[in-house]
Amino acid sequence: MIYITDGSFEGILTAVFEAYDRKEEPEAIVCGDVCQMQLASEIREIVTDESKSDRVYRAIAEKMSGESLENLYRAFLSEHPDCGIYIYRYIKVGLKVGRRVTSYLQNPDVLRINDLNYKVSAECHRFLGMLRFKKTRSGIFYAGYEPDHNITMLITDHFAERLSDQPWIIHDQKRDIFALFNTEEVVFSKGLPLSICEAGEEEEFETLWKRYFKAIAIESRKNPKLQRSYMPRRYWKHLIEKQP
Amino acid sequence: MKLLDKLQILADSAKYDVSCSSSGSDRKNRPGGVGNASLPGICHSWADDGRCISLLKVLFSNVCIYDCKYCVNRATNDVRRASFTPDELCELTIQFYRRNYIEGLFLSSAVLKSPDFTMELMIRAMRKLRHEYRFNGYIHVKSIPGADIRLVNEAGLLADRMSINIELPSTDGLRLLAPQKDPASILAPMDYVRDRIMESREPVLYKRREAFVPAGQTTQLIVGATRDSDLKILTLTEHMYKRFKLKRVYYSAYVPVNGHRDLPALNTSPPLLREHRIYQADWLLRFYGFRAGELLDEGHASFDTHVDPKCDWALRNLDKFPVEINRAPIEMLLRVPGIGYKMAEKIVRARRIGPLSFEDLKRMRVVLKRAKYFITCSGRYCSDVDLDAGVLYPLLSDEADSRIIPGQVSIFG
């Protein structure tokens, strides 16, 4: 049995509810638009239902812990194609062992969620440092990036607190999701409506930063392999210091 | 002089200071202010030498009255000289910070006119940054040896972290290479900073204590400019962690910048492997419960070039192995080569739920390459070779492990 959802977290939790309710063991929980029909498997379409997903949500929080809930949500944001079924299996284990599920690292189903959660958290931390803002002519600071995982909503609090007196936009160009901060609150939306025009002073600061980046490296210790291991090449496109 | 040239000169001359960390402080933003500090620290980029860039690391000035033989900025060297104005420095910091290039400022300086004069300039710049520019991000300041204690105090109230470089591992070395620096002028302020930090952390009723160097103090010493042994360095390190309650000791492999009969020849390459081993041992002291005397002694005064200090220790203490993964106390798990402190914690958590097998460990991503020789899982020995130093040594050497990149400090080993 394959469950097809709308791809939202609530959709997956509804699917978990249905599986328990119908006493079924789904072999996959997939998002509608990526589903490739497998021959000879039955399909059930899941209609996202908040009252059902809420019950699963509360069961996780009460029988496991807030930490489990966070781990599951971050694993969901990894956008791994199998994360639906991984979430289902983790919940199944968690409902058996309770709070201890976060320590149950020898269990492959727990480990899978932990691994996804680790990847997403690591990328979040990386972008707290590697995001680069450019000042635009309108005075808004704009940061475009292309993260592996859907992390935009996980990193905005950090910047709202830190850069609280400047309006900014963080734009996930891969998913065309953006967060806009107007110095009061963060608003999320899809499809960036405006085009980005750099302010006149921008080139000066970018040149200064590039110069600093070059000057701070010790020539006789050059180590490009080590550099890439921390700052993989796929991220360079948006790093000013890595532009010629 | 253009700002771009100043930045070039003053970053170039600050680059031999290796500290880059922005951790340990949780300074909050204020309404109308810019920035805050992040407790675990954040790296923003990695330079071409693979070192992390977290702070804007610059000298306030590289004009120096001292003539330390190992230093690129010594008075008698013919290098381009520059000094920032406080406003230039503040503007650079704020503009870089607003674009998320950096986590804050690392401010050091050559000695301009006198230690007090230099320190006053640095304080003026920091005060401006904190009060006029309302900057609440991270500041790491170098205290200038010989500066008045009142200035050290003032700087400590503005900075998140303070460091005074001990520079050389022995007073003999200091006398030889930096005769104008008095060892007492380095150690006395470190004692003072320790006391002020402890005092500022005592709870007081009804009012908030002024934060004094909330992220603690650190120091740095140069490896390979003098003949001091690894044993000498590690013993000194251990002593300093205890006496000054340091957060970190940084080591910098000496890069020959000046020719002099008292120094290694100009074509000597920096002793990176030696620096790497000392960092590994430093980690063992801070997080793994090792004492310096267990790792090195008079008969064994240098680290092995082929195996890391933990493996080296294990091979000399094979009677303590194998360790049973399901029962050993965490202190002993931490001594198993290949098991880092994060992994040790995971093992302890997981085994409370059920016994761990060799396959479980593999699945949990324990790096078994080295560990497998030193452990049993529920009584089962997991490797097919004998627990014998002669057999194990070649299997444990770095050459057998292609993942190690020189210069990288492994925090998992």
Instruction: Map tokens 């492999």 to a residue.
Output: B253
pLDDT at B413: 34
Question: What confidence score (pLDDT) does residue B409 get?
Answer: 46
**Residues of A with Cβ-Cβ distance to B44 under 8 angstroms:** 129-130
- Indicate the average pLDDT of chain B: 91
- Predicted confidence at residue A34, as pLDDT, reads 56
Of B95, B98, B353, which has the smallest distance from its Cβ to A163's Cβ? B98
Determine, for residues B272 and A221 on separate chains, whether the beta-carbon distance falls below 8 Å.
yes
Closest by CA to B223, choosing from B178, B171, B170, is B170
The pLDDT assigned to B410 comes to 41
| Partners of A44 in the β-ladder | A3
> Out of A101-105, B314-318, B388-392, which region has the weakest mean confidence (pLDDT)?
B388-392
- CB contacts < 8 A, A to B, total 163
Residue B275 has pLDDT above 70, yes or no: yes
User: What are the chain B neighbours of A208 within 8 Å (beta carbons)?
Assistant: 3-4, 7, 92, 96
Tell me the average pLDDT across A98-115.
94
Q: Examine the pLDDT at B360 and tell me if it is beyond 80.
A: yes
Cβ–Cβ of B29/A162 closer than 8 Å? yes
Q: Quote the pLDDT of residue B411.
A: 40
In this prediction, residue B124 carries a pLDDT of 97
Mean pLDDT of chain A: 93
CB contact under 8 A, A223 and B49: yes
Q: What are phi and psi of B81, to 5 degrees?
A: -115, 145
Q: How confident is the model at residue B412 (pLDDT cuts 50, 70, 90)?
A: very low
- Given this model, what pLDDT does residue A228 score? 95
| DSSP-assigned states of every residue in B97-126 | HHTTS-SEEEEE----SSHHHHHHHHHHHH
Residue B251 tokens, joined: 């080591």
Measure in Å the smallest separation between the Cα of A48 and chain B Cα atoms.
34
Compute CA B75 distance to the chain's CA centroid, rounded to the nearest angstrom. 27
pLDDT of residue B259: 86
pTM for the full predicted model: 0.92
Give the model confidence (pLDDT) of A147-193 as tens digits: 999 999 999 999 999 999 999 999 999 999 999 999 999 999 998 87
Nearest CA in chain A to B405: A226
| Residue A143 and residue A168 in contact, taking contact as beta carbons nearer than 8 Å | yes
Name the 3-class secondary structure at A58: helix
Tens of pLDDT, residue by residue over B48-91, are 999 999 999 999 999 999 999 888 899 999 999 999 999 999 99
B7–A216 CB contact, under 8 Å:
no
Task: Tell me what pLDDT residue B216 has.
Answer: 95
Q: Does position B406 have pLDDT exceeding 60, yes or no?
A: no
Q: Which residue of B has its CA nearest to A223?
A: B49
Closest residue in B to A224 (Cα) is B48
Residue A195 pLDDT exceeds 90 = no
Q: Give residue A199's pLDDT.
A: 83
Q: Verify whether the Cβ–Cβ distance B43 to A207 is below 8 Å.
A: no
Residue of A nearest to B267 (CA): A220
Q: Using an 8 Å Cβ cutoff, are A131 and A146 in contact?
A: no
Which tokens go with A109? 């189903």
Report the residue of chain B nearest A104, measured CA to CA. Answer: B350
For the segment B268-274, the average pLDDT, to the nearest whole number, is 89
CA–CA distance, B145 with B116 (Å, rounded to integer): 9
- CB spacing of A106 vs B3 below 8 angstroms: no
Strand partners, B250: B220
Interface of B with A in 41-100 (CB under 8 A): 42-54, 56-57, 92, 95-96, 98-100
Q: Which two tokens stand for residue A61?
A: 């929080």
Query: Crossing angle for the helix pair A66-77 and A83-97, nearest 10 degrees?
Result: 170
Q: How far apart are CA A31 and CA A39, in angstroms?
A: 17
pLDDT band at A41 (very low <50, low <70, confident <90, very high): confident
In this predicted structure, what is the pLDDT of residue A39? 56
